[in-house]
Amino acid sequence: MQDIKLHITDREGVTHNVDAPTDMNMNLMEVIRSFELAPEGTIGICGGMAMCASCQCYIESKHELPEMSYDEDAMLAEAFHVKDNSRLGCQVFVKDNLDGLKITLAPEE
């Protein structure tokens, strides 16, 4: 199984190029936490249930992402700092087709 490259810009504006495994059922929020790109307690607060927006990120590349679930869409309807390219990191899973994905973490609420 091969890792894919992700380009993640943290809340300080620093871009990190990380290798993320595709065989661990990880989502973007978990990748960010595993590399400690945002302090614990400021991301993934609800644990990945699409029930907070602490892992909101902006998708900056043209990759095709899975469709939003009802829960994710509902959360983004109430979240702050939402843009057209906003997604919840916890709902986007690391798959081969996301190799080279560029994302930027939304500001902390």
**Applying CB under 8 A, which residues contact another protein?**
39-42, 45-47, 49, 51-52, 74, 77-78, 80-82, 107, 109
26 versus 45: smaller Cβ distance to another protein: 45
- What is the nearest approach in angstroms of another protein to the Cβ of residue 81? 7
Dihedral sign of CA atoms 40, 42, 48, 51 in order = positive
What strands, in cross-sheet order, belong to the sheet with 86-88?
Answer: 15-21, 3-9, 101-105, 56-59, 86-88
19 versus 73: smaller Cβ distance to another protein: 73
